[in-house]
Structure 1
Amino acid sequence: MPENNTPEDSGIQESVLSHLFELRDRVVKSVLAIIVALVGLVYWAPDIFHLFAQPLLDALPAGGKMIVTDVTGSFFVPMKVTMLVAFLIALPVVIYQLWAFIAPGLYLHERKLILPLVVSSYTLFIIGMAFAYFLVFPTVFKFMASYNAPLGAEMSTDIDNYLSFAMTTFLAFGVTFEVPVVVVVLVRMGMVSLAKLKEIRPYVIVGAFVISAILTPPDVLSQLLLAVPMTLLYELGLLIARLYVPNPTVEDANTPSS
């Protein structure tokens, strides 16, 4: 026998469908924002890649050049770099769409917290990438190039390999610079106390060096350039988290009664 849907079941189904439709619309808007940014940049893809590769080009010896070992590499690698830039440009729109989707389900005090966290997360991620581009790349490339002269080796890097290295490094430093945000969220949500985070500081420092050893090239300089900022950012997170230690009285007032 066919089941009869109760009004409650119908209401739940309509609510789920409406959320799915809203999620679809916001995903479409996010994708369109990325596509618009990509279309606006695609003409300058070679120039964008040249700027992207400048730290390595500056470290190459006189007359040194990057090479292409894949037939389609000269087209797809600059396009991938341009897509990365387009995504970064459109990221505020993507974050806004995500924020607009989840905001109705949050308490008022949570809504007030999310927007600063979103802005700070985006800003710190960009700062992390800029730190890698302007400081880490030139330092590491010049350091590694200094080993080629005694060996009589010529330094020529494939553009696809450079892209993989740069993307990994950008992601590592971008995520690393999110440490203060993670610390603040953990404290504000009551997941971990500020005193406990201070207590585990020595383990965090050891963990920072372990993570940097995994994510960076196998040289001490690169590891230090990631581990030291990670440790300092953890300390910064502890300082900022003092302002966001939850107040039980306020939390109880903001929690709806059953």
Structure 2
Amino acid sequence: MAEQQKEMSFLGHLEELRWHMVRSAAAIFILAIVFFAFAEQVYDHFLLAHIQPDFITYRIFCDFFNFFGVDSDFCTINFADKKLQSIKVTSQLMNSIWSSLILGVIVAFPYILWEIWRFISPGLTENEIKRSRGFILIASILFFIGVLFSFYVIAPVSIHFLYNYQITDSIQNSFTLESHIGLVTNMLLGVSILFELPVLIYFLTKIGLITPEFLKRYRKHALVVVLILAAIITPPDVASQVIVAIPILFLYEIGIKVSKRVIKNQEKNANKS
């Protein structure tokens, strides 16, 4: 009888998890429909914004170098002859559907976190719920900082480099729609997820898998892992990888402080009990 109740309880949790996933998927789908409906504006002002010579990042870099009296390619950017190719009949349709889904995931991220929180919070004590109340806000802020960082820093630097890189004049660059949009969306999503590092460290410390000493001891190994991840989610140019790696390493150091605080609070609670 006890085993049957345990099985029913397990199945009940699975059913509850299923509905949390259904609601999250519904939110993503609804947002994707909105993005798809306004696909022209989304592409012109967001996904293809980096091939506009007057993009704000290019102007800032131009002004920065001019201030120091240095000539810069950012002041003479010209993407006029860089028309994207749509090779297959279904390319534009499938690309707009896929990019709408990815943007749906990005915008729905706080809601997805809320659904995850609703699922795990019943298993937490009242004190744990109180201490973790800012989880959704902090994780969402870190995520959208990653979105802004990748959109305004990583993407323009990468696209400027890749669009202007040419081995010889005998080779003409002619990029496809899929390669450009894939580059932008992968960076948006990948960098934003990496910015969740302090949150991940917080939960791993809470469950006892890592400690501040562990993070300090393997700091050099973490540097290698960060560089590998940066190489995966960014184009193969060193500048983009370094630009991604720097804030991630900074977040790693913040994670060490977060881990210390978690351990300190756990020790304080243990002494009280």
TM over 0.5: yes
Q: Structure 1 residue 37 and structure 2 residue 31: aligned?
A: yes
2:48 aligned partner: 53
Structure 1: gaps spanning 5 or more residues? 1-5
Residues matched between the structures, number: 248
- In 1, Cα distance between equivalents of 2:106 and 2:189: 12
Contact residue 60 and residue 155 of structure 1 kept, 8 A? no
Q: Summarize deviations over 1:69-111 as a string: whole Å, max 9, x none.
A: 1111111212221222222233322222221122111223332
Write out aligned runs for 1:192-231 (5 A).
192-231=210-249
Q: Distance in 2 between matches of 1:23 and 1:238?
A: 31
RMSD: 2.7
State the Cα deviation string for residues 29-58 of structure 1 (Å, max 9, x = none): 222222332333332012212221211344
Equivalence for 1:23: 17
Q: Tell me, in whole angstroms, the C-alpha distance in 1 between the residues paired with 2:79 and 2:18.
A: 51
Q: Cα distance, 1:137 vs. partner?
A: 1.2
Residue in 2 that maps onto 1:248 = 267
CA distance 1:55–1:188, change in 2 (3 Å):
same
After TM superposition, give the deviation of residue 212 of structure 1 in Å: 2.5
Change (3 A) 1:35 1:104: same
SS in 1 for 2:108: helix
Letter in 1 for 2:155: F
Aligned-partner SS, 1:247? helix
1:75 equivalent in structure 2: 93
The 1:102–1:186 alpha-carbon spacing in structure 2 relative to 1, beyond 3 Å, is closer
Q: Could you tell me how far apart the structure 1 residues matched to 2:36 and 2:234 are?
A: 30
SS at 1:148 equivalent? coil
8 Å CA contact 1:183, 1:237 repeated in 2: yes
**Deviates further, 130-139 or 147-156:** 147-156
Distance of 2:15 and 2:163 partners within structure 1: 53
Distance 1:144 1:41 in 2: 27
In structure 2, give the amino acid aligned to 1:173: V
Structure 1 position 143 matched with structure 2 position 161: yes
- CA distance 1:113–1:156, shift in 2 (3 Å): farther
Q: Deviations over 1:94-139 (max 9, x none)?
A: 2222211221112233323444333322322222122111111111
Q: State the alpha-carbon separation in 2 of the partners of residues 153 and 113 from structure 1.
A: 58
Q: Which runs of 5+ in 2 are unaligned?
A: 54-76
Q: Is the 8 A contact 1:33 1:90 kept in 2?
A: yes
**Contact 1:128–1:173 (Cα < 8 Å) also in 2:** yes
Match of 2:5 in 1: 11
Matched, 1:119 2:114: no
**TM-score, normalised relative to structure 1:** 0.82
Distance in structure 1 (CA, Å) of the matches to 2:33 and 2:231? 38
**TM-score between both structures, scaled by the size of structure 2:** 0.78
- Residue pair 2:33, 2:100 contacting (<8 A) in 1 also: no
Q: SS of the residue aligned with 1:151?
A: coil
TM-superposed deviation, 1:12 = 2.7
Q: Counterparts of 2:217 and 2:182 in 1: how far apart (Å)?
A: 37
183-192 or 171-180, which moves further after superposition?
183-192
Among 79, 95, 109, the residue aligned to 2:127: 109
Percent identical residues:
25
Aligned 8 A contact 1:168 1:215 in 2: yes
Contact 1:48 1:81 in 2 (8 A): no
